[in-house]
Amino acid sequence: MNNGRPVVLIVEDSALIRMGAVDLVLAAGYEALEARDADEAIRILELRNDIDLVFTDVQMPGTMDGIKLSHYIRDRWPPVKLMVASGAAILEESSLPSGSRFFSKPYDDHTITDAMALLLLSETPSLPTA
Residues 45 and 80: their CA atoms lie apart, in Å, by 10
Model pLDDT for residues 25-54, shown as the tens digit of each residue? 999 999 999 999 999 999 999 999 999 999
Task: Count Cβ atoms within 10 A of the Cβ of residue 42 and give its class: 0-12 exposed, 13-18 middle, 19 or more buried.
Answer: buried
Widest Cα–Cα separation across the chain? 42
Of 68, 99, 102, nearest in space to 85 by CA:
102
Model pLDDT for residues 86-111, shown as the tens digit of each residue? 887 666 656 888 888 888 888 889 99
- pTM (2 decimals)? 0.88
Domain, as residue range, for 22? 7-121
Residue 56 within a domain: yes
Q: What is the CATH number of the domain that holds 18?
A: 3.40.50.2300
Count how many domains the chain has: 1
